[in-house]
Amino acid sequence: MQLPKPYLLFLADGSSLAQCKTAAGLRDWCPHDVLGQFAMESCRVDLGLPRLTPAAAAAAGARSLVIGVAPVGGAIPPRWVPALLEALEAGLDLVSGMHTRLSALPAVAAAAKRLGRSLFDVRHSDQVYTAATGARRSGRRALTVGMDCAIGKKYAALELTRALRERGMPATFRATGQTGIMIAGAGIAIDAVVADFIAGAAEALSPAAAADHWDVIEGQGALFHPAYGGVTLGLVHGSQPDAMVLCHDPLRTHIEEYPHHPLPTLQSAMDQYLCAAHVTNPAARFVGISLNTSGLDPERRMRVMHGLEAQFDLPVIDPMQDGAGRIAAAMLRDYRHIS
């Protein structure tokens, strides 16, 4: 799936920045691919981007309108359809991460067909994958893994990709979730593939590459997540990571929305991830810990980070505050002489 950039971001009738976090992520992570924002009159969110109509955006070179807002439930409400049609008429393709498929909206499907426009549903997967081979392939792979969902795995992978490149190491961000796919313009919604092919899809996502090239793969879920652990395990197996980064929020005590499922210790989590990763890569190891410390005061933040550094002898970062340079530097050092 290759998404046509640059984008016009559709905020629809978004009522909060939280609802528009997909659009905000695109603004922050691929600013050169974003030409502007387009909203309905009732929208109460402003991302500080140029306000463009679809026609003006198309004239400026935009190729897709991206739905950048996600109301609860993930359905596309009928009131958005006129704006989507306006974008198609202006010559833009549509990109959506919603549960509702764009092609399931009759007016949208008809207009796209009439105008020769493409509809991209990044949450869904119509691609057919094969079962994983388990065979080692050339190139290096890093995978962000987590103590839970929504704990910074995408952000850590993006920062690590940037930090590796800044140090002269060839690196590619590999997206496995909808926002990541929109940022990268490509990827596989790994939780949407048929169960038998999770690891196979992960193999396809990070194919053989030059020996010193790093694929930095966006992790999903958690091995011990009661609903999504299977996705996580298949992604670990297929990614064959050389290096893993454990992502955590020190204030998270249990799986989000699963109050009866306390998190394991970080040591237990690492042991479980290593056991899983060693199935397809016996050399897999952790190279760092990535924290979301936004909920901690400065003193506690320092105490937590220093404590974990001492406990695990690994660089501990908050990618939002520190970037991932310390992890990239450690990887540069550790893998320089490994082919």
Q: Which residues bind its own copies (CB under 8 A)?
A: 131-135, 190-196, 198-200, 223-224, 226-235, 237, 255, 258, 260-261, 272, 275-276, 279-280
* Smaller CB separation from its own copies, 33 or 121: 121
Q: CB of residue 93 vs its own copies: minimum separation in angstroms?
A: 25
Shortest spacing between CB 227 and its own copies, in angstroms = 4
Nearest CA-CA partner of 213 in 138, 163, 160, 325 = 138
The nearer residue to its own copies, 227 or 338, going by C-beta atoms, is: 227
d(CA 266, CA 272): 10
Q: How far is the CB of 319 from its own copies (least distance, A)?
A: 26
Shortest distance, CB of residue 193 to its own copies, whole angstroms?
5
Residues 6+ apart with CB under 8 A from 299: none
Measured from the CB atom, the residue of 131 and 210 that comes closer to its own copies is: 131
Q: Which is nearer to its own copies, 173 or 224 (CB)?
A: 224
Please work out, in degrees rounded to the nearest 5, the angle formed at the alpha carbon of residue 160 by the alpha carbons of 155 and 164.
155
Question: Measured from the CB of residue 188, what is the shortest distance to its own copies in angstroms?
Answer: 11
**Residue (228 or 312) nearer to its own copies, CB:** 228
Q: How many CA atoms, within 13 angstroms, populate the side-chain half-sphere of residue 122?
A: 26
Beta-carbon contacts of residue 95 (< 8 Å; ≥ 6 apart): 3, 7, 64, 65, 66, 67, 120, 122, 182
The number of C-alpha atoms within 13 Å of 93 and in the hemisphere containing its C-beta is: 16
CB atoms within 10 A of CB 334: 13
